[in-house]
Structure 1
């Protein structure tokens, strides 16, 4: 009895310990678990690392601001330069067009003045008329010769309306020509009345708003216009 009990106890002690399915852990699994735990970096699981959470160095922040500000400033400078160049080009183009238009208007005005002088030279002057009735007819013939000139000059608005040599431009050259022709027409009508009623007729030279003869303004134009204006301003000659 004693020997059998002792033999069973020794057998139980020398046999490996038995347990349930979950009581034993394979050596490979334990090692794998140890390696997994050791390989996980700090801050894993979606959280930023300590290096990412560290604030930027002030010098790096300043460099970043300077680079950004430099790029923005360069862009603004480029836009300003492009705008200035565009405005300058537009201004030069407008100045060139205006200068070209002025030269064209001046050339056309001089040509119209020469044509007017030629037409007047083909007519007998009123001063050569034998009587007041013939003088009135001669004045009207000259006025008719002026009409194509006025029609041409009216299309040259800058030349027609302004006089750069006069401080007050309310009376332009074109208006002065009209006033001269109207005064001559009034004189021709007065000559007709002289023939009918015997009332003496006088030519009244037109003046501008300042009391100056319009002939002074007209003589400042091209020479051919000045000669024609002097002839028209003296219908008695």
Structure 2
């Protein structure tokens, strides 16, 4: 089938069906794990703290105003391990970042990071970390910003700080392109325990971005199943 120049390409039925099936499969696995664990299916135990994001934009624009405008923003963060065996054993690092609203007209924005590589393709692949080690994490799956795929990266300043680093550097890239540093994050971990918070980048996107349909189909069934199986585990507080 020919596609006229300037018009969006139609979604391939086979690809859409494959993504939908994968999303339903992840949803069923998430539902079963939540029931068996009596908690969140992944990242069941974590540490929550307040943080400050200081944006010093890159020379080029990402397409999201939050990443492209200088200033400081209050945040809520949660650090955890995917399987729940860390830090004593090798596990996948996880880091959730919520940029809090500045006023009644603003909305919160959520980013979910997981330990990955940072190369052209490895930035989209999970990487387990050895005990006592921290490293780069990315948002793994892209969102659309200014018509281009956007991936965000989080790097600890000190990779050996235990249990979690207090300072991070954030960068973004378009697809498999160059990383552009745009912010620092300072976290106050002292005396903070876990709290029932759910972070959802589909429901709370970065301003100026939209989810790719395939990514939303892949992610949302797992989020919905986990909430239905264990609704009391991680209700969002009112902003």
Q: Normalised by the size of structure 2, how large is the TM-score? A: 0.25
Structure with greater contact order relative to length (CA < 8 Å, sep ≥ 6): 2
Which has more strand, going by share of residues? Answer: 2
Which has more helix, going by share of residues? Answer: 1
